[in-house]
Amino acid sequence: MRVLITRPEREATTLAQALRARRHEPVIAPLFRVEILHPPEDFAAQLTAAQAILITSVNGARALAEATEQRSKPVFAVGDTTAATAEGLGFTTVVSAAGDAAALSELVRARLDDTAGPLLHVSGTEVAGEPAPEGFELRRAVLYEAREVSALPEPARAALAARAVDVALFFSPRASALFGRLVTEAGLAEACRPVAAIAISAAAAEPLAALPFCATVAAERPTRQAVLDEIDRLPPPGVQSPDMTESPVTPSPEPKTVDAAVVATPRRGLGVLGAFVTGLIAAAIVLGAALLSLPYWPPEARSLWRGPSAAPAPPAPAPVLDTAALDAAKRELTARLDDLDKRVRAAAATAAQADRPTSSDPAIAELRRKLEAVENRPAPEADASALRSEIVALRAALQSLDQTVAGQKAAVDKAAQAAEASVSGEQKAVTAARGSAVIGIAARISAAITAGQPFAADLALLQPLAQGDARLGEALGALQPHAAKGVASRASLAAAFPAMAKAAMAEDLADDSFWQRLLGKLKSVVSLRRVGADVPGDSVEAKLARAEAAVAAGDLAKAAEIVKSLPAQVQHATADWLARAEAHLAAQRAVDQLAGQAASLLGSAR
């Protein structure tokens, strides 16, 4: 199935790997951007006084690791994923409640003594469910903030608009409410009808009742594993489960009670035989109505119904003026008239004559001169009257010929204008289609870059569209080297930064002396360094601190520029991370160029 993930980028990347292992296709569209905050001034004192630390999210575990180097204090985690994250960050004593805030409170009451000291709850600025173990003093330290996005992420918008989502996952009531608001603002609420929504709890499912999902399911237990199991229980896309109903999820007072809403009972159709008979009856009715209305059809339609008729007789040839009895001057005049008549017919037959000047042809001017010569030529009195009559007739023929030339010229001009207008309209339609196609391809490649996935198949669709377009060709060339394997995602680069910074600090301290090399080896094992965007100075430690803050804030370009400015002795440690970051930035710039050119194409087609 195609599964929409709304979690922050780091958690979404980990969840996407689990979905791919189950042969699902993830669509990552984070609704929050997590920012690690500076710990409060009394945080060290609170940590020392606390008998244990409570963490209720993966981000809480990461923020705790950033705030302190102490790893021996007991940690109680709300779920298995949070506990595994804390263990991976080096905390030595970690216990999982494998449930929700209530389960965490029960675990604390069973394992700890309320007289041994206070508990420290590491959380974000917004808390969905705070543990409240009875009898214990609970203190709260806000170490991170999950900031809401202002608009529906582009991967989610494009996937919903293309009906390319089967399942949407929600891990908190706040995420569910934010998704509902952003989808409604984007005008895509109706696009949720074929989508099944799976929430980690009944409380997270409750805000989804306003959207027309085909199914809304709350996981049996508030864990990531339970959410994955609910996906596997859904019927394949396009198949309705017979036990689904249209009622929304109603939260239960018991935290672990599950209320699931599912799609409507399928309606019975006519069946294959009924549909076939209905089609035959409808065809017979349409055919009978066509035969009855045949006398009222236009002549052209009746001729098409009855078949081709005999070809019309060719038009009779135009009469040719007989001037055999005239004298030599008249014969010369007739020959020139015949020549001019052929030229007029040629002009009418081809549009190449459309650019002829509207003034009289030089041959006509020559004929007028000949006529004047004939008129002024002395002749016997007996022939003068007949000759003048002949000249009058020839003048009338010349005037008619001038009018014919002008009419043919106007007809050719009109046909050329109509052809030009038709070609212009077709070109605009083609340009608009190209722009729409490029926007769709750019959205798919952007989603692949966000997920760190290959995008060769999507880039192949861009090949024919880029022909003759320099900007599209430039973006295509920039993306081609990374299409087969993809580029590192922003989340993976952020996760790899601490290890790179630790190695860079060790390289910075190492020189030719034995003690400095020994110190460098120790720094590569245990790293004590300052972090934060406000660390002053130009030392390697200060620059790494500001670069890491830029990565956490989502400004990968700024982080890459800071890392590039580090001295030469640490470039060996930073080379691999910097190369992956620059590949990500180059691919993102190329996608932005695709989107800009697509907008330009759509604008020119208006």
Residue scoring higher pLDDT (80 or 393): 80
Rounded Cα distance, 601 and 587, in Å:
21
What number is the average pLDDT over the span 253-259? 39
Under the banding of pLDDT at 50, 70 and 90, the label for residue 365 is low
Select the highest-mean-pLDDT range: 70-79, 229-238, 316-325, 469-478. Answer: 70-79
Residue 19's pLDDT is what?
92
Of 498, 546, 542, 503, which is closest to residue 523 (Cα–Cα)? 503
Under the banding of pLDDT at 50, 70 and 90, the label for residue 341 is low
Q: With 50 as the cut, is the pLDDT of residue 262 above it?
A: no
Residue 249's pLDDT is what?
44
Residue 356's pLDDT is what?
44
What number is the average pLDDT over the span 302-318? 51
Q: With 90 as the cut, is the pLDDT of residue 321 above it?
A: no
Residue 512's pLDDT is what?
44
Q: With 70 as the cut, is the pLDDT of residue 125 above it?
A: yes
Cα angle for residues 85, 87, 91 (degrees, 5° grid): 120
Residue 119's pLDDT is what?
92
Phi, then psi, of 92 in degrees rounded to 5? -85, -30
Q: With 60 as the cut, is the pLDDT of residue 348 above it?
A: no
Residue 197's pLDDT is what?
95
Q: With 70 as the cut, is the pLDDT of residue 419 above it?
A: no
pTM of the entire structure?
0.40
Question: What residue type is assigned to position 265 of the chain?
Answer: T
Exposed / middle / buried, residue 459 (Cβ in 10 Å: 0-12, 13-18, 19+) = buried
Q: Half-sphere exposure of 583 toward its Cβ, with a 13 Å CA cutoff?
A: 19
Residue 206's pLDDT is what?
92
Can you list the pairs that 550-559 forms with residues at least 24 positions away whose Cβ atoms lie under 8 Å?
551/493, 551/494, 551/497, 552/34, 552/35, 552/36, 552/494, 553/35, 554/33, 554/490, 556/490, 556/493, 556/581, 556/584, 556/585, 557/585, 559/497
Under the banding of pLDDT at 50, 70 and 90, the label for residue 461 is confident
Q: With 70 as the cut, is the pLDDT of residue 517 above it?
A: no
Rounded Cα distance, 363 and 368, in Å:
9
Residue 320's pLDDT is what?
41
User: Which two three-digit tokens encode residue 43?
Assistant: 């945080």
- What digits encode the pLDDT tens for the residues 93-111? 999 988 888 888 999 989 8
Rounded Cα distance, 588 and 487, in Å:
10
Residue 601's pLDDT is what?
75
Select the highest-mean-pLDDT range: 49-63, 294-308, 326-340. Answer: 49-63
Under the banding of pLDDT at 50, 70 and 90, the label for residue 239 is low
- What digits encode the pLDDT tens for the residues 202-221? 999 999 999 999 999 999 88
Select the highest-mean-pLDDT range: 50-54, 249-253, 290-294. Answer: 50-54
Q: Half-sphere exposure of 591 toward its Cβ, with a 13 Å CA cutoff?
A: 25
Q: With 60 as the cut, is the pLDDT of residue 247 above it?
A: no
Share of the chain above pLDDT 90, in %: 18
Can you list the pairs that 400-406 forms with residues at least 24 positions away whose Cβ atoms lie under 8 Å?
401/337, 401/340, 401/341, 401/344, 401/364, 402/360, 402/364, 404/344, 405/344, 405/347, 405/360, 405/361, 406/358
Residue 324's pLDDT is what?
46
Under the banding of pLDDT at 50, 70 and 90, the label for residue 376 is low
Residue 76's pLDDT is what?
94
Q: With 70 as the cut, is the pLDDT of residue 159 above it?
A: yes
Q: Is the CB of residue 56 less than 8 Å from the CB of residue 130? A: yes
Share the mean pLDDT of the chain: 77
What number is the average pLDDT over the span 358-367? 57
Residue 274's pLDDT is what?
61
Instruction: Find the helix or strand (DSSP H, E) in which 6 lies.
Output: none
Q: Is the CB of residue 78 less than 8 Å from the CB of residue 97? A: yes
Residue scoring higher pLDDT (385 or 105): 105
Under the banding of pLDDT at 50, 70 and 90, the label for residue 182 is very high
Q: With 60 as the cut, is the pLDDT of residue 529 above it?
A: no
Q: Is the CB of residue 261 less than 8 Å from the CB of residue 198? A: no
Which of 132-146, 183-197, 344-358 is predicted least confidently? 344-358
Q: With 70 as the cut, is the pLDDT of residue 523 above it?
A: no
Place of tokens 């969905």: 128
Share of the chain above pLDDT 70, in %: 65
Torsion-angle region of 537 (φ positive above 0: left; ψ -120 to 50: alpha; else: beta): left
Q: Half-sphere exposure of 155 toward its Cβ, with a 13 Å CA cutoff?
A: 21
